[in-house]
Structure formats: C-alpha cells, structure tokens
Amino acid sequence: MPTREELALVVRTAISDVLGTEVDEVHEQTSLLVDYGIDSLELMEIGARLERALALRIAVEDLTGARSVGHAIDLLEARTAGQS
Amino acid sequence: MTGPQARGRHPSGGRRVAVTGIGVKVPAGHGIEEAFETVLKARSTAGLVGRLVEQDLPVHFACLVPPFDLDAYLTRREARQIDRTTALLLCAAADAVAEAALPLDLAAERVGVQIGTGIGGLPSMEAVTLSHGDRPRDMPVHTVPRTMANSAACRLAMRYGFQGSCTTYSAACASGTTAVGEAARRIRYGELDAAVAGGVDSAVTTVVMGAFARMRAMSARNAEPELASRPFDADRDGFVMGEGAAALVLERWDLAQARGARIYGEVAGYADTCDAFHIVAPHEDGAVAARCMRGAIADAGLTPADIGHINAHGTSTVLNDRAEARAIDRCFGGQSPPVTAVKGVTGHLIGGSGALEAALALLCAARGVVPPIANLVASPEAGLADVVIGTARSIPPAHVLSNSFGFGGQNACLVLTPEQ
C-alpha cells in the first residue's frame, strides 16, 4: 500500500498533467473548482489516470465530493486502505 | 461610389459584408502576407513526410504547416484537450480576431462561428483507434469532444464567448468556401453582425492518406514532390494533400466602416450547387459547376464580364481540372479572365482550402496581380481557361471569383470585391 506521501505525489502528478500545470503548483489546499474552474471531463480524466496508476476503481463521488486536493488524497487513502 | 452600396446595402437589399481580419496557418505561411508572397513565387511547399515514407504508403509526401510556437496561442491545459485540426483553426482565428479588433460592446449573440471541414476529427479518431482500439476502457476521457466534427468551431466559440449561430459545414473540399458564403449570408440578411468564418483540415495520417491513395486521386510523384502539384498541366497525376486553417472575420460593412476598421474587401456573392452525378467525380461537362459560378456572380449583382480573375479550384487531377475548365468556358462564354490555382503551391487543404483561397484571391484582386500556377508548363485546357503560366499577370483591381468543388459533386463559389 502506498504511503500518504507517495499517494499525494501520484494525485498531484495526475492533476498537473491534466491541467497543464507543474506538480509544485498543486498543493494540499488547492481547490480544483475554485482555483482552476475544473470541469467534469477533466475530473474524469484525472480519475482515469489515478485508476491506472493505482490499479483501483475510483467512485465518481470521490472525485466530485473532494473539497481540496488534500481531501481527495484522504479519500483515496481510505480507499486504498480498504482494498488491502 | 454612390447609391445603396455606399450606405452599406448589398444589391440584394441586405447588408454588405466586410472582411476585417484574416488569419492563416497553412503550408505557405503563418500569416496571410507570408502566404501571399509564397504563392506569388509559385514554388510548391510539398515535401516528404517521414511517417508516410516509413510505412511505405503509395504517397510519401504532403504540404504541412511549418512548425510554429503553439504555446503563444494555446495554454497547455487547452492543448491537451484538442487535436491538431482544432489547434490550427484556433491559432488562425486568433490572428484574424486580433487583427479585426472587434468592438468590445458587440453583443455576443450577434457574433457567429461558421467553419468548414471535410475530414473533421477523423484523424484523431484514427489515432485513438490505433492506440486504444484493443483496450477501449482506457481511452482518453476527451476522445469524443476531441474528435467530434464540430469540435473546432465550438472551441472557437467558447474561447471568445461568441453566442450566435455556430455551424460546422461538411462539403468535402468545398467546405471552407461554403462556410464563408453561409456566414456572409447570415450577416447580409440580418441574423448576425459579425462572424468568424473559415475552414480547416489536418489529415496527413497513414489511414486517410492510404484511403485517398487507394482511389488514385493523389499524385504519386514520390521522387519529385515539389513537382507533383501542377494544376491544369498536361503532366499532372493527382492532387497533393495539404493541411491548414484559414479564418476570416466578416462584419456588417456599415458597422466596420463606422468604427474605422481596416477593410480588406467584401464577400459580395455566393452560390452552391450539387452535380448529383457521381459520389466523387465531377460531371465532365461542367454544366452544374458553371451554373454555380454564374449564381455567385449574379448574387453579387454582377455579370461575368465584371470578373477580373478566377481563383480556380485547380486540384491537379485530370478530372477536376478538365471539368472546371469546361465550366469556366461555359460561364464566361469563351472569354475567360486570367485563371490561377494556388494548390500548386499550397497543396490541397481539403476543408481549409476554400477559406485560404478566398483570402488570397481578395489580396490578389486588390493588388492587381494574378499569380502564375506552380509547375504549369503546358495545359490541354488552355483553350478553355486563360490559365496563367510562368509569370504573374497584372490586372486592374476588380472582383474575383473563387471556386471550390468537392467529392459528392459539391460546388461552391464566392465573389470577392477588394476595397476600392
């Protein structure tokens, strides 16, 4: 099971790839909606990348329900813990 | 000029339509002035394309848009979601819109986007089929919005917030001309005050090129790509595929004039017809194509004698060139004005060609110069159409007829009038 730090890097990398930003620009406090105006397709693309990277099915609610990047990492951590 | 036209009225009673911005990303250049200079030199832009050579397609060459700084036009985020076709159109349109400098108080719902494309998103669907055909669950989420035929037009509308009619026209090789003509009609008859009109295609892929090659529609002069596109020449053996985008900002003449905009000229006439004869071959007698030319000239309130020169479709296929020459002969009653065909330089941009050629034709008409046709040495059609061989022809500034004819028997013609 990846550590939270490893998970955070995977998530921030997926986000930065889709939004065309640098990984360093994506923080735990970043709100994809407020800071980037992310749309549903971009969210789905991030989800698809995370599913591939983590070999994990990700619920749509985990993507749409996260208030911030840190919150999304927390939700994913719970999922990966539940999987092991 | 006095009378109705001086007050912004078209002979039809509708509004006159001004061209106030032009942007191109084409093999002949990254701007209309560069493209104009390249066309005047009458040297082909065709070259070998590595991926076509490596896969040993029947055709190894095409006319590609030279590399340019896409980052100056597109954010990385945007670039990830679109294909090359849409990217080329957005870049060309950005130049056109910047040049036109439309007033900020223009109502969004009065500005439209009218774009022609023959192939649309098929090249990017081809790419995703090759990369993900055996694992469709992993396809990129943006596959549909990237590949849908109206993607380029709608991305353009989104970028500027233009909320008027946004239409994508697919009339094969006539698509760009159709888009410009339909946009002009919408402005003329009051539906819109302005529009970005144009055409685009970027289809130099192995499947699309392979498919056209199977029809033997393209030149296979692999050893001499630069000599391959030779409209109206006795030694032609097919068209040369090109890629590119051209966009024109069209605007109600009176509004453009009132705000002191630079006006290149007018989209004065337009008509389209269909041969209804064969799914790819033009009717050899050229009768319906000639009717289309006459229709566009009449739509402009003119007669054939008013046309100073013709920008021919001139693909460098025997069937097109011969039928077009016959159509010109019919339309002009044996009195052909000088005829040029820029595909000898640019290759065939499919949906992009009509819009590029409308822009080039307008510049040529305004500057009183008809470029020589690249690689044209001797023409079997010289008795039907006054094709320009060797050196540019000087003419008085006058109206120009720009022809586009496409697979499916699609005919579309524009008459453009330079600013006096």
- In chain A the domains, ranked by start, together with CATH numbers, are 4-83 (1.10.1200.10)
Indicate which of B128, B141, B146 best probes the interface with A, i.e. most A CBs within 10 Å of its own CB.
Answer: B141
Q: Are B199 and B116 in contact (CB under 8 A)?
A: yes
Q: Are B264 and B364 in contact (CB under 8 A)?
A: no
Is there a single domain that holds both residue B157 and residue B278? no
Is there a single domain that holds both residue B209 and residue B62? yes
Can you give the pLDDT at residue B1?
46
Number of domains observed in the structure of chain B: 2
Choose the final residue of a domain: B221, B247, B265.
B265
Can you give the pLDDT at residue B389?
98
Q: What's phi and psi for B2, nearest 5 deg?
A: -125, 175
Q: H or E element: which one contains B141? A: none
Residues of B forming the active site: 173, 313, 348
Question: Where do we find the tokens 């813990």?
Answer: A81
Q: Does residue B2 surpass a pLDDT of 60?
A: no
The CA distance from A77 to the nearest CA of chain B, in Å, is 23
Higher pLDDT, A2 or B73: B73
Is there a single domain that holds both residue B136 and residue B234? yes
Is there a single domain that holds both residue B288 and residue B316? yes
| Nearest alpha carbon to residue B257 among B40, B15, B62 | B15
Number of Cβ atoms within 10 Å of the Cβ of B281: 15
Alpha helices (H) along B220-342: 253-258, 287-299, 318-331
What pLDDT, in 10s, does the model give residues B258-297? 999 999 999 999 999 999 999 999 999 999 999 999 999 9
What pLDDT, in 10s, does the model give residues B373-407? 999 999 999 999 999 999 999 999 999 999 999 99
Tell me which residue in B76, B78, B141 faces A45 most closely, judged by beta carbons.
B141
Q: What's phi and psi for B94, nearest 5 deg?
A: -60, -40
Domain ranges, residue B278: 266-418
Q: Does residue B63 surpass a pLDDT of 60?
A: yes
Is there a single domain that holds both residue B251 and residue B299? no
Can you give the pLDDT at residue B5?
62
CATH code at B234?
Answer: 3.40.47.10
Choose the final residue of a domain: B236, B265, B294.
B265
Rounded average pLDDT over A1-15: 93
Rounded to a whole number, what is the distance in angstroms from the first to the last CA of chain A?
7
Cβ distance of A45 and B142 shorter than 8 Å: yes
Is there a single domain that holds both residue B162 and residue B297? no
pLDDT range class, residue B4, cuts 50, 70, 90: low
Rounded to 10 degrees, what is the CA torsion of B373, B375, B377, B383?
-40
Q: Are B285 and B326 in contact (CB under 8 A)?
A: yes
Rounded CA separation B7/B232 (Å): 41
Is there a single domain that holds both residue B259 and residue B303? no
Is there a single domain that holds both residue B240 and residue B279? no
Per DSSP, B60 falls in state -
Can you give the pLDDT at residue B6?
60
Is there a single domain that holds both residue B109 and residue B150? yes
Read off the pTM.
Answer: 0.95
Indicate which of B77, B131, B146 best probes the interface with A, i.e. most A CBs within 10 Å of its own CB.
Answer: B77
| Nearest alpha carbon to residue B202 among B93, B115, B82, B122 | B122
Is there a single domain that holds both residue B233 and residue B330? no
Is there a single domain that holds both residue B286 and residue B223? no
Is there a single domain that holds both residue B285 and residue B180? no
SS3 B246: strand
Question: Where do we find the tokens 């320009």?
Answer: B388
What pLDDT, in 10s, does the model give residues B172-227? 999 999 999 999 999 999 999 999 999 999 999 999 999 999 999 999 999 999 99
Choose the final residue of a domain: B265, B295, B314.
B265
Long-range contacts of A35-43 (CB under 8 A, 24+ apart): A40/A64, A41/B81, A41/B141, A41/B142, A41/B145, A42/A18
pLDDT range class, residue A2, cuts 50, 70, 90: confident
Q: What number is the ipTM of this complex?
A: 0.85
Tell me which residue in A20, A41, A45 faces B76 most closely, judged by beta carbons.
A20
Chain B residue numbers with beta carbons less than 8 Å from the beta carbon of A44 are 141
Tell me which residue in B78, B79, B142 faces A41 most closely, judged by beta carbons.
B142
What pLDDT, in 10s, does the model give residues B324-343? 999 999 999 999 999 999 99
> B22 - beta bridge partners?
B248
